[in-house]
Amino acid sequence: MTTGTPIFRGYETTVVEVRSPNGDLLGSVTAAIADTGQLRYRGLSETDSLPADRGMFFVYDAVGNHTYVMREMDFGLDIVYADGDGTITRIHHAPEPAPDEDGEDQRYPGRGQYVLEVNYDWTTDRGITEGDVLEFSLPE
């Protein structure tokens, strides 16, 4: 169910589906597209919560090594790295920072061209693992 909550002001959105290698749909979210340095830096920082059917989708020009942090986060995330073909290469389960932490020290490295952030344990609850595939369309 889509909540209609406008939590992604200033971002375009796309539907990101996660499928098994044989094509079975495992999960789907409407994700904000962070495809510039400024949008990627802001990400979900200072967001109070994330509806179960929403996510943040980070897009780079090419596959590379990236490290994500939990800067100013109030809830945990799954951080899903995918290569240029959308194949998932790494999944991190990143808990929310402790009340006295800002999240900068929580570092989650990976290699990919795409990074999907969804609620903590979203991937576990849907049986999503490395080797599954992200499918999406980006705006022209």
pLDDT at 1: 34
Residues 97-104: contacts with CB under 8 Å, at least 24 apart: 97/70, 97/73, 102/71, 102/72, 103/69, 103/70, 103/71, 103/72, 103/73, 104/69, 104/70, 104/71
Pairing of β 25-34 and β 54-69:
parallel
**Are the beta carbons of 14 and 139 closer than 8 angstroms?**
yes
Asked if residue 27 belongs to a domain, the reply is yes
pLDDT of 4: 45
Q: What is the pLDDT along the chain (140 residues), one digit of tens a residue?
A: 344 444 677 789 999 999 999 999 999 999 999 999 888 888 887 678 899 999 999 999 999 999 999 988 889 999 999 999 999 999 999 999 888 888 888 999 999 999 999 999 999 999 999 999 999 999 87
CATH number, domain with residue 102: 2.60.120.1140
Give SS3 for 93: strand
9 part of a folded domain: no
Answer yes or no: is 91 within a domain: yes
Query: Of 37, 31, 39, nearest to 80 (Cα)?
Result: 31
In-domain check, residue 6: no
Structural domain includes residue 50: yes
DSSP string, 25-61: EEEEEEEEEE-SHHHHHHTTTT-----TTEEEEEEEE
Residue 5 maps to a domain? no
What is the predicted pLDDT for the residue at 76?
94
Count structural domains, the chain.
1
Range of the domain at 25: 14-135
pLDDT of residue 10: 75
1 within a domain of the structure (yes/no)? no
Q: Let me know if residue 2 belongs to a domain.
A: no
Per 3-state DSSP, the chain is made up of helix, strand and coil in percentages (nearest 5) of: 5, 45, 50
- Note the pLDDT of residue 7: 60
d(CA 42, CA 60): 15
pTM flag (> 0.75): yes
What pLDDT does residue 41 have?
Answer: 84
User: What pLDDT does residue 43 have?
Assistant: 83
